[in-house]
Amino acid sequence: MAKDIILLGPPGAGKGTQAHLLEANHAMVQLSTGDMLRAAVKSGSDLGKKVQAVMDAGELVSDDLVSALIDDRLNQIGPDAGAIFDGYPRTEPQAHSLDELLDARGRKLDHVIELEVDEDALVDRITGRFTCAVCGEGYHDRYKLPKVENTCDECGSHEFKRRPDDNEETVRKRMAEYRAKTAPILPIYEKRGIVSRIDGMGGIEEVRAAIEKVLAD
């Protein structure tokens, strides 16, 4: 069975970038609560309308809601695929819910990988981020431009978009939420001896190699 892991780190640490690379190289599936919530907002559903203002303010949506989204998504992945939890859990109650959801399926967490980063550099990373509007491939104004100008490497689209919460003020709020509510969940996993810390300030490829080393253990 493939491994179940959490990628932990503040906004812009590179969780989504690394989750995509892991998906490409392993039988693993990214479960990003941020992506699930953005899909709900885009759909215009009642749920989307409810969470949009919370996300735009850089605050956390309710624990019950995100745990229900993960519960649903876990039902869609087979027992042989590993889960990459990206942006979940983010609070202590979410960490306990995840234990219950995994227990109920006979799964367990193998690794919690914390990407250690410098918050000021993250503001630069996040405010430069953009994605393909069609396939969602991620890019950056300085660190990862499309190979052909204004053309997605993956699907050839010429449409790109930026997230409404990727402005400096909201990013600072999201970081404060991370420090106050998410970083304190680490001791839960430290007690189990499954936390690995990786320098997230290296290049994308260096970080990828360090994560691969953890997974090989």
Q: Which residues bind to ligand AP5, rule: CB under 6 A?
A: 9, 11-17, 33-34, 37, 54-55, 58-61, 66, 87-88, 90, 94, 125-126, 129, 138, 140, 143-144, 174, 203-204, 207
Least Å distance, CB 56 to ligand AP5, is 8
Least Å distance, CB 32 to ligand AP5, is 6
Nearer to ligand AP5, 103 or 141 (CB): 141
Which of the residues are catalytic? Answer: 15, 90, 129, 163, 174
3-state secondary structure of 83: strand
Output the six-digit token pair for 195. 């936390």
User: Whole-angstrom Cα distance, residue 140 to residue 209?
Assistant: 20
Residue nearest to ligand AP5 (CB): 34
Nearer to ligand AP5, 26 or 172 (CB): 172
Which residue type sits at 216?
A
User: Whole-angstrom Cα distance, residue 29 to residue 175?
Assistant: 26
Q: In 87-202, where do the E strands start and end?
A: 109-116, 129-132, 138-140, 160-161, 195-199
Least Å distance, CB 80 to ligand AP5, is 25
Nearer to ligand AP5, 1 or 138 (CB): 138
Least Å distance, CB 63 to ligand AP5, is 7
Nearer to ligand AP5, 61 or 215 (CB): 61
Whether 115 and 200 have beta carbons less than 8 Å apart is answered as yes
Q: Which residue, chain included where needed, has tokens 């989204």?
A: 69
Q: Hey, which residues does 83 pair with through a beta bridge? A: 29
